[in-house]
Structure formats: structure tokens, C-alpha cells
Structure 1
């Protein structure tokens, strides 16, 4: 990375550069060659070129663009290509001073590297100070590792002490010195060995600290491309596919064909076989909850008890009940080792699997009939604790937060990432609440019909980017979660659709249950999918057609 003489021919400069490429092939910081002094290269870089822009918008600076491409080539291991790009464009990835600085760091020339640091054009004195501290800290640890305790002490006193950002930094380094000098082998000496072997890591830390105009950031081109793809994906209201299916060849845009719109199967009483008849409740069953392994099932009778069933045998494994008040809802802990239940006295109870009551949270925490959700970490319990409010109870902190609505709440569901609650109201409106940190209302979904029945909604699709709901007009409604746009209405039922559930594994499958006595499974329109594939084949030519035929 240091320069060669200006009068060397280009072929010899290339040979010298290629010899420098030997080393760790995985560390691009070690593999960026230099083609002579900056005078040689920058003489070919006209002032007008420094200000030259490319692209139809006129916002991309050519010099930065070329440097980022060169950096990407080195990072990908294409060292000769990166070197050729620097040579042909006349645009160096780094100045000769920066190349020399990088060599000095990797060679352990600490005094020279600090001196060079002051000459590479840094305007922020705090950055210079912080970078100098990192360099001299490395020198200090390497001296200790080499057993040069007195030299390390001198470095600490004369070079590092005035650079420490706090007294704690100085005390920590001093403690390493004391521990090492007394032969301590636990803790400090391990750190010494670790730091003494990490010059490439030091160079990486310095690169992150210094301005990008001095040292081009690692993998900057990848970051820019990923940002562009993410923006395209987020702007696509129909996006419902895996991110790995997004191509760089075209702008990303899903069509309506990515949303479930076609009935794949209709289930009726005559088509469903009875596996077990679970008998034991004396009152109507108000709540059912599957265990995470699908091996057990909880059922709760209204103001009665909770029963745990073995799914394979149909055997009742345990009955959970409280003397006096009955139970009204139930749910599993994320690890499946305990259960929760809403109690008729408006408290929430927790049992272990053997029926021992572990905790009981008294107070106005649940309604007589209430949904109950537990976050994946098991820390928060959520329940409707009055007609217009949902309680978020933190078990560990013993703290409570409340979501207040203006209308009666009929049901709610928790997102997979535990950050959002989807709340159904007595009116024809569904609210999305952010519960991660400060509680706030982030979206409202409208258009479906609800006047008499309890209608349940759900999250679904890839990254749970959609909201689906039943409706009293016999249709299933689908909105884009972020934009609140109604993007689909699925017709097929002949009665009110009370509940919907999006397949958590297959983002293209949705189930709906209706008062018409059927359950419909919805999927993609295969005809639209086939038509889209054929369009892609024709638009991309014969080679794409061959590839398409090969896949099928």
C-alpha cells in the first residue's frame, strides 16, 4: 500500500502491486495495492473530473462511484481487477498518505503511524485524538505481550495518559500493567494476547472511526444496493415473497397474484373426519389453545375449568381449576412449561403443568370473556380488562400499561415479533397499536362490515406485511399493513366470515371460517402465476426460456 517510484513503467508497477496482494485473501484491508505516489495518479485526475457527476439525475459523483466499485472488487477478492480499475481510471482508492498509514499499522510502526495520522487531512481534533489512542493502546498491549513492562509503562505515562477520554480508561490500562507485572494469567493476560494479535482488527476500527472521504467504508456498495432493494420492497404493496427472490436485473414490483385470491379447498362437516371427542366440560367452551409442539390442547369452559388434552390419544392429562371463581380463558407459556388463565374474579393465574399455582395477579386484569396473549419471552401478559381497554402486564417488573380505545374491544391478536397488537372493535374498524416502548396507534383499517357478530382479524404474509379480517358481508378483506390500503376482497362464502387465519409457514395460504358452515382455504391464482411466468420468459429472451424450462 506504500508507493513505488514515479518513473516505474506501468507493467512493473502492476507486478509490484500483484506481489503486494499476497497475504490473507479474506481481508480486503490488506489487499489494496498502490500504484505510485498520489502525484502520479492525481496528476491525471483533472479538477473538472473531481466535480464530474454521472447518472440521469446528476447526483452521483464519479470519483466516489469509482472508488466504491474498486473497494467492492477488493472485498470480493478480485484484487487484480480492483488494481486495474485504479490504474485505468486514474482514481486511487486511497491517497498515498493513507496507504502508507495502513502499512504502518499492519507493520506495527506506531510512532510513524501516529505522525502520518496527523498529515492525512483530518479536521476534527477529537477524531485524531481517538484514533491516536487506539494506535498507542495497541502498542501498549504488544509491549506487554513481549514482556517489555517498563516500555509499556513509559508508553502509558508519556504517550497514552493525555489521550484518555476518562480516568476509567487510564485505570483500566494501569490494572492490565499491574496484573501482567505480577504474573496474573486470568483476565488481563488473555486480553493482552487477544489485542496483540489483532492489527487487522485495529485497522478496521480505525476505518470505522475515520471519515469515509479518508478511508472508503467496507462493503459500501453492498449497503447501497441493499438499501435500494429494501426501499423497492417496502414500496410494493403486494410484496409477499422471500427476499432472496428479488432480482437486481429489474425494479422489484409484485402483482396482485402474490395475494391469496382463489379457493383451493372448501371444508364442510362431511369432509372432516372426527379424531377425538373431548368430553368433560359441563358448560360451553370459550377458549382453545394449542401448545407450541402441537402435542397438547388447552380448553376452557365458561366460568368453569381449564383442561389439558393429549392430542394423539384424546386423554385428559390435567384439570386446572380454582375453588370459588371459575376460569374464562387460557393460554400457554412460550416454553410450554406453564399455562395462564383469566379468572372470573378478573385476576390472571399461572400454573405449572402439574396443576400447582405458581403466581396469581389480582385486580381488574381481565373481563369475564377475554382474549389472552403471552409474549414469546414470557414476560408480558395481555388481556382485555375492561370493555374499552387492553392491559399489558409485565410479570418481572410488576408494571402495567394500558391501551385505551373509544369503542368496545371484541378481540385482539399479537404480531409474531411481539411489537404490535391488532385490535378489533365493535364498529367496522381495526386498529394497529405499537406496544414496543411507548404505546401508540399507528394504523386504522376500514371497509369491512361488522354490526352484530364478533369478527376476528390476523396478521399474515411475508414479514406479516398484511392484515386480514372476516366480515358480515360474507367476504374476506385484506389490507397492506404499512399503507392501510385495502388491496383485496375475497368472495366465496355465503354467510358472515367470523374468523381468518394466515398460514405462518406458507405466506400464500389463508383460511377463513364462516356462518355458512364451511372453512375455505385460499391460495394463489395458478392461472395468473403461469401467465406471469410466461410473460417473464418472453421478455427475457431464449436463454431465460431455457432456464425456465429447466426448472420445470
Structure 2
């Protein structure tokens, strides 16, 4: 019979007779030891859910009790508040304890619960007797005993519960007492609390840890138990290029999302930093799109953008120029106003930077031995001399201060505190450090090591958690990024024109070696130097490449929906190119580009906006053409452009042709395609790949260019200056 506290152990001759009759009607099933344990665990789970009758029926039919008789009596006494009976049952269970020394702690917890319940009911004399006769002789935890003795002066139950942090006899404290006591007994005597819930949670977490594409913020409690967990790559991990941003005129070296995920900053060799606006489309929901926002120029004399850093509040953007530049520039991201230009010494080389959490202070450094703490308000404040810095990051400390993590040219990751001027070496890498990136929770650090892959370090334990291989190395810098809702993914550029993505949370198991290899995203036509995860849209990834483009990667499901919305004109930016002519059509990937190169004739795309920008493709290769609004032919263009748009020709869904003078042409009036030149006159496809714009002219006169701050090399005609390309600090090759 079930008592009022949910206990399974009834009393009385009638109940015993009824149970004996039920046992005769339902003979016990022969179960193995594993099955008997499963029955006990299931029975405990049913009892925790409040299904005591179902649990009792299970025990009767299986013929195996959930607990021993003494343990069941002890549980019943505690739940009923029979403290004398609980002490008697505990005495019979004393020999079953894991450790004999645990008996005094269990007795103290029982007496403490009894003492607090007496105080709550107003029986202060009885509570004082328990304090003197039960708690004090145990001599367990004098500090705790002292706090309990002070509670006897409480004026009422409310003050008692407030001062003690105890929720009362009706607040589930008796069950909590049982749960805390069960850990002292072996499972054969008393099951650990919530055993089945713990086993289910462990099983789900193990499946999640083996899921190669797990990229969801759902907790294990929210995942289904009806099937093994497995995330589909199409719905969770960036795998398809949804946009190609081609506003840069030269190689793109860096791309960084703002901490709020609203902006994307890109920069490279063309001496401009472009700020893009990330918009979440209403149809389909969750499919973000990128459009041009601002173009910021740093000046051609600075040799290009080497690094970009966002302030933690996503309001300011800091840019570092190439190795020979001596100043850094801070802009207002929303308006494009230049807030600060900092220059300290003429011999400085400030190529990397990181913001402090207050969004006012930041640190800058370079590989010539200059390392500064600066602020937007004051400028240069403090300096750490003779520190050759390769990469920087900041991290909050337990004491409330901020530590600066700096990778130097000696392959060390060191920790600096500008407030106390203290420093220490955290760890040393196997080779020269190219770059590093810190996770959002500031517990993981991804370090790109020359010819050694990406090393993932745990900053709390100061151990290397994973060594990620599979990317192609070379002489130039690569930047990695940590992302995903649980910071379980690492992405990096590669010299083979692909983006590498690892799920470092995958644990060892079947196919463990395969899990250490990355998923590779193809589409770029040149070296991929930098990648960045969006901290808000966890399935969004940006990559910057030498092919003068920045690609936006999304999961296949979102990318397909974004393509459909773009084709219908319902997504941000409309169909085709954006209105400012800086953003390529979604879905215009490398496979389509190669197919169009092989097809004769001219093809193109356009957008409704200020002008008509078309991709002009013929048998000789791929070119871009932009026709400004207004009548008159574009200078130097005598071609026709084929478009598919409802704004320019024939209404919705109509297909037509637009000549260079802006006059519409019907399909019948379109001139036949030009003859395909012979194979000998055509350029090889490998030469066209990634060369969407002609390379800038080489310097006319030989000059000296500093390479990595370590040596000088001569750059003559036909050779680009070494400072225009970030290189690995110890690189000594001429290539």
C-alpha cells in the first residue's frame, strides 16, 4: 500500500496478505543480473515521477526489490519524519557503508534536518535538546555547528529559512536529504539518486560527442531518445557558398565579424577596409544575407590592410596596415568616421591588435619589438619593450582584470598584465606561430603553427586539447577561427584554395581518425588566408582569399532557401547583384563559373538599382561590366548583356536582352554568338582561375623591401613587394 509520502513500504496484515496473493497470481520471472539491475533502475525512475503504484507492480511481477529491507525502512522513516526510526535503521546499515567514517556525517545530517524542523514548528526546547544531545556529541564540522546554534534566536520560520538557506520541511528537503545520503551506500543496498536520468543524459552526451556535424544549442535534455542522435551536415554546418563579395580590387587578407554578428569587415592589398551589413532575411527565416555598408580607405602608402579588430561593443573598427606602416586607424563602424589615428615612433611596425573588454583600451604590436597599451581617448599609455609580437588576444582574469595573450617570434604564448606589469609564459609551440584566435567564452585558443596545422589549447588547464591537421601550408599567414553555438568548431584557411572545418568536440570512437580530418569547402580560386565565424548566426562562415573575393558559407538547407528568396527578389539585396554593384548573386559558385567559361556566347545577371552590372562571359574568359544609369553606351563597351529581370525587360518573368546603349532587345533580335576561337588561341583554364581582375603593375624601379622584420630582399620589375603579403615570421624563402 502506498503511504502519503510516496513510500512503497506499507504496513498491516491486510496489506501483507494482499501482496502475498498478488505474488502467487504473478509468479516471479527468471531474470539475469543485468535485467534485475534494469528493473531496479526503472522502478526508481517511476517512483521519482510519482508513479508509485506502477513501480510497486513492476517490483511484484519481477520479484526483485528496489532496495534492501533496512534501506527501504530508512527511506520510509526519513520521508515520514520518523527520526528515531531513521536512526535505528541507520544503525543496522552501518556495516554496509562504503567507509565507516561516513556514519558520523550521515547522523549529523539527520539530526540537522530534525533540528531545523523543530525550529520551524516553534518547538525551541526540543530543538535545543537535539542541539545538545544529538549534534554536539558527534563533533562534526564545528563551524557548521556554530551556525546552527545561532539559528535558535530566529523570531519565526521566515527568518529561519532566510538565514539558513533551508526551504522548509514542505520544500522537498527530506528527499534532498535522502539523495545526499545515498552516495555513502553501495548501489546493491541503495541506488544512487536519479540513476536512470543520469544514464540517459550520459548516453545522449556520448552520441553528441561523436556527431561530426553537431552545431545546435539544444541541451541534451531537449534531444530525442527515440533514435540515435545525428545532425545532418546540410542543416547545421556551413557547406555551401551563398554569396560572393567581390568589391575588393586585389587580394583579401583578413575578414572579421563583429561580436554582435551585425557587421563583417574585410581588408586586403587594395588598401581599403570594407564594412558589410549582415541582415537576417524574413523569408526564409534564419537565412542571413550580406550587403555593402561602408568602404574605408587607409591610403596606398600603407601597403594594404594586415589586420582588423572589432571593439567588444561592435561600435569601433581598428585597422593595422602592412609591416612598414607605423600607425593604426580607428573608425566608427556605423558612420565610417575616423575616430583616431595613432602613431608613436617612426620605426614602429604595428601589424596586429586586440581590444580590451571596456571597448576603449586596446593593445597593438609588431615583430620589431614594440608592444603598446593604447586608448581611444588618450592614445599611447604604456609600453612593453623588446617584445616581438606576432598575434594578440585578450582574456578576462578571475580577479576582474584583463590579461593580454601575445604570441612572439620565439613560438611562445605569453600572458601580460599591463595593470601590474607582470608576465609569464603559458606554453611554447613546436614551430613559428602564424596567428591565433580565442573563443567567445575565452577558454580555448586556436593557434596556427607553421607546417604543423592548428593547435587548440585549453587556457584553464594550459594543455593542448587537439592538434588539427589536414590543411596545406606555405610561406604566407593563415588565420583560424573558433565558432558554433558550443564553440565546438574550428575553421582555417589553406594554401590549396579551400576552407578547412573541424569539429574538435568529436571524441575518440569508431572512425576517430576520420574525425580528426577536416571538411573542406571548395570554391575559391586562390589561397584562403582568413576565415571568421559569425558569433550570432552560428551556421555562417566568411572566408577571404587571394582571388579578390570574400565568400559567405551557410548550411545547405539555409543556402538553398536563400537562393530561392534571392531569385524571387524577396531576400535582402534582391536578385542578382546588390544595388551597389558590389555583391555577386547568391549561388554563383565556382562550378557555374567554370561551366560558363566553357559555354560560347555572352551571359549575365543584373539587379534593379542604380545601374546594371553584368557578368560578361565569352569564349575567352570571364569579365565584369558595369553600366551606370542613364542613356548612352558605357565607355569602351560595345557588347550586349543578357539579363533576367522583371524591372528592365518585359515585366515579371520575361527574359530579354539589353544593349550597351540601354535599349531592350527581344530574344529574336539577339545577335548570334561569336565564333569560338581555335583551341590554340584560347587561354588555358588554369590560368583564368582566380584571375578576375588584372594584377597591379609591378614597381618600375628596384627597391628594398623588408621581409618579416628579419632580412632585406630586392624587389625588381615583375616581382611584388614582400611587405604586401603577410608572411610567416621565420620564412626565409624567396618564393
Q: Please state which band the TM-score falls in when normalised by the shorter chain.
A: 0.7 to 0.9
Which residue number corresponds to residue 132 of structure 1? 107
Identify the match of residue 330 of structure 1 among 353, 365, 375.
353
Provide, for residues 400-439 of structure 1, a one-character-per-residue CA deviation record: whole Å limited to 9, x for no partner: 23321232211111123322222112325222222212x2
Which residue number corresponds to residue 229 of structure 2? 252
What does 1:447-466 correspond to in 2, within 5 Å? 447-466=470-489
**Residue pair 1:105, 1:199 contacting (<8 A) in 2 also:** no
Q: Secondary structure at the match of 1:486?
A: coil
The structure carrying a bigger helix percent of its residues is 1
Q: Secondary structure at the match of 1:464?
A: coil
Q: TM-score, normalised by structure 1?
A: 0.75
Q: Distance in 2 between matches of 1:511 and 1:409?
A: 22
What does 1:263-282 correspond to in 2, within 5 Å? 263-269=241-247, 273=292, 275-278=294-297
Q: Distance in 2 between matches of 1:527 and 1:274?
A: 23
Which residue number corresponds to residue 9 of structure 1? none
Which residue number corresponds to residue 529 of structure 2? 498
1:236 and 2:211 matched: yes
Provide, for residues 298-353 of structure 1, a one-character-per-residue CA deviation record: whole Å limited to 9, x for no partner: 22456534433222221223445547775543322234353333378846444454
Rg comparison, structure with higher value: 2
Identify the match of residue 332 of structure 2 among 272, 297, 310.
310
- Tell me how far 1:373 sits from its aligned partner: 0.8
**Residue pair 2:373, 2:418 contacting (<8 A) in 1 also:** no
Which residue number corresponds to residue 206 of structure 1? 178
From the superposition, tell whether residues 108 and 399 of structure 1 become closer, same or farther in structure 2 (CA, over 3 Å): farther
> 135-144 vs 403-412, which deviates more?
135-144
**Residue pair 1:364, 1:385 contacting (<8 A) in 2 also:** no
- Tell me how far 1:485 sits from its aligned partner: 1.9
- Tell me how far 1:68 sits from its aligned partner: 1.9
1:486 and 2:517 matched: yes
> 405-414 vs 338-347, which deviates more?
338-347
From the superposition, tell whether residues 246 and 148 of structure 1 become closer, same or farther in structure 2 (CA, over 3 Å): closer
Q: What is the alpha-carbon root mean square deviation over aligned residues?
A: 4.0
**Residue pair 2:120, 2:160 contacting (<8 A) in 1 also:** no
Unaligned runs of at least 5 residues, structure 1: 1-12, 22-29, 54-59, 531-552
1:155 and 2:130 matched: yes
Identify the match of residue 395 of structure 2 among 358, 369, 375.
375
Which residue number corresponds to residue 78 of structure 2? 105
Q: TM-score, normalised by structure 2?
A: 0.58
Q: Distance in 2 between matches of 1:375 and 1:307?
A: 23
Q: Distance in 2 between matches of 1:115 and 1:209?
A: 15
**Residue pair 2:71, 2:189 contacting (<8 A) in 1 also:** yes
**Residue pair 2:438, 2:445 contacting (<8 A) in 1 also:** yes
Provide, for residues 363-421 of structure 1, a one-character-per-residue CA deviation record: whole Å limited to 9, x for no partner: 44452xx3211125663211123342221235677452332123221111112332222
Which residue number corresponds to residue 523 of structure 1? 554
**Residue pair 1:51, 1:61 contacting (<8 A) in 2 also:** no
Q: Secondary structure at the match of 1:247?
A: coil
Q: Distance in 2 between matches of 1:467 and 1:340?
A: 25
**Residue pair 1:428, 1:448 contacting (<8 A) in 2 also:** no
Q: Distance in 2 between matches of 1:246 and 1:107?
A: 37
Provide, for residues 194-252 of structure 1, a one-character-per-residue CA deviation record: whole Å limited to 9, x for no partner: 47546731441332222244443433212111111111221233333454674322223
From the superposition, tell whether residues 92 and 189 of structure 1 become closer, same or farther in structure 2 (CA, over 3 Å): closer
From the superposition, tell whether residues 122 and 286 of structure 1 become closer, same or farther in structure 2 (CA, over 3 Å): same
From the superposition, tell whether residues 485 and 196 of structure 1 become closer, same or farther in structure 2 (CA, over 3 Å): closer
Identify the match of residue 419 of structure 1 among 436, 439, 443.
443
From the superposition, tell whether residues 220 and 435 of structure 1 become closer, same or farther in structure 2 (CA, over 3 Å): same
The higher-RCO structure (CA 8 Å, 6+ apart) is 2
Q: Secondary structure at the match of 2:101?
A: helix
**Residue pair 2:241, 2:559 contacting (<8 A) in 1 also:** no
**Residue pair 1:144, 1:192 contacting (<8 A) in 2 also:** no
Q: Distance in 1 between matches of 2:62 and 2:53?
A: 14
**Residue pair 1:457, 1:470 contacting (<8 A) in 2 also:** yes
**Residue pair 1:141, 1:192 contacting (<8 A) in 2 also:** no
Provide, for residues 465-521 of structure 1, a one-character-per-residue CA deviation record: whole Å limited to 9, x for no partner: 333222222222233424562142222222111112233344443222111111122
Which residue number corresponds to residue 290 of structure 1? 310
Q: Distance in 2 between matches of 1:295 and 1:222?
A: 45
Which residue number corresponds to residue 261 of structure 1? 239
1:362 and 2:375 matched: no
Provide, for residues 434-464 of structure 1, a one-character-per-residue CA deviation record: whole Å limited to 9, x for no partner: 2212x23333233322222111222234533
**Residue pair 2:243, 2:552 contacting (<8 A) in 1 also:** yes
- Tell me how far 1:148 sits from its aligned partner: 5.1
Which residue number corresponds to residue 118 of structure 1? 91
From the superposition, tell whether residues 281 and 223 of structure 1 become closer, same or farther in structure 2 (CA, over 3 Å): farther
Q: Distance in 2 between matches of 1:192 and 1:526?
A: 53
**Residue pair 1:365, 1:383 contacting (<8 A) in 2 also:** no
Which residue number corresponds to residue 690 of structure 2? none
Q: Distance in 2 between matches of 1:324 and 1:513?
A: 30
Which residue number corresponds to residue 223 of structure 1? 198
